A and B are shown apart, each in its own frame.
Chain A
């Protein structure tokens, strides 16, 4: 089973409007973290926002907020007031507890991504 599911291959939004990108996850860990990254056409992965499984409040970073619903295992990214420069691929990722041999290997498991296009 996929650990991270992003069901929207592509999304369109008008400039200045808000958009929600969906992400659901699957884990049996009690301690985990959820990340969102942006990948423009240049290829570099840019960190946007982080939510820890024990965080009681939803994370916010400027125009980005994370709608964390633990019981539903969802961690949707909300981008407010979209800008043309927001057009990019967006990836949801999860960090689980490292295995015994992995030490402090907090590797990330990524979803397949959502391509966001902001229209003028």
Chain B
């Protein structure tokens, strides 16, 4: 088990461009989360998948953001028409069943919008 992986690790893009991030969770985990972390803050919840179903989205997730998890395996997070305020670390986490199950985080994708 290699843990949660995320690609790319870093992304620099110009304002107005679209970007897509990928997360590969731990294989047997059916729960997948996306969080966003800005400088000096803790991570903030964006969206949650149970298997392939997206069950909850935060108000932070504007219409420019979309996330998918086809076949309940890897997940993608797309940001359309990026804005400078989108610059942040995007973290993916997965967890197994269980109310007390810890969430295993990936290394994150750091997005810089210029």
Q: Interface digits, B31-57 against A, CB 8 Å rule (1 contact, 0 not)?
A: 101010000111111001010010110
Docked-complex contact B99 and A45, CB < 8 angstroms = no
B25 within 8 A of A: no
Produce 1/0 per residue, A17-45, CB < 8 A to B. 00000000000000101010100001111
Flag if B99 contacts A33 (CB, 8 Å).
yes
Contact partner of B42 (CB less than 8 A), chosen from A43, A44, A111, is A111
Let me know if B105 and A45 touch, CB within 8 A.
yes
B side interface size, CB within 8 A: 30
The answer to whether B42 touches A91 (Cβ under 8 A) is yes
Would you call A47 and B43 a contact (CB within 8 A)? no
Is residue A73 within 8 Å, beta carbon to beta carbon, of the partner chain?
no
Q: Which of A45, A50, A105 is in CB contact (< 8 Å) with B43?
A: A45
Residues of A within 8 A of B93 (CB): 45
A103 to B99, CA, bound (A): 12
CB nearest to A115 among chain B residues = B40
Contact of A47 among B31, B99, B103 (CB under 8 A): B103
- Chain B at the A interface: mostly helix, strand, loop or mixed? strand
- State A31–B44 Cα separation when bound (angstroms): 21
Given A102-B48, A102-B56, A108-B43, the answer on whether A44 and B103 have CB atoms closer than 8 Å is no
Q: Would you call A35 and B102 a contact (CB within 8 A)? A: yes
Q: Which 9 A-B residue pairings sit nearest by Cβ, starting from the closest?
A: A110-B42, A45-B105, A105-B48, A107-B45, A102-B56, A103-B55, A47-B102, A44-B107, A105-B56
* Residue contacts A-B, CB under 8 angstroms, 28 given: A4-B42, A33-B100, A35-B102, A43-B108, A44-B105, A44-B106, A45-B93, A46-B105, A47-B104, A47-B105, A50-B102, A91-B42, A99-B56, A104-B31, A104-B50, A105-B48, A105-B55, A105-B56, A106-B31, A106-B95, A106-B103, A107-B48, A108-B45, A108-B103, A110-B43, A112-B41, A113-B41, A113-B42
Known pairs A50-B102, A103-B53, A108-B35; list 18 more (Cβ under 8 Å): A31-B99, A33-B100, A44-B107, A45-B105, A50-B100, A52-B100, A102-B48, A102-B56, A103-B55, A104-B55, A104-B97, A105-B48, A106-B103, A108-B33, A108-B45, A110-B42, A110-B43, A112-B42
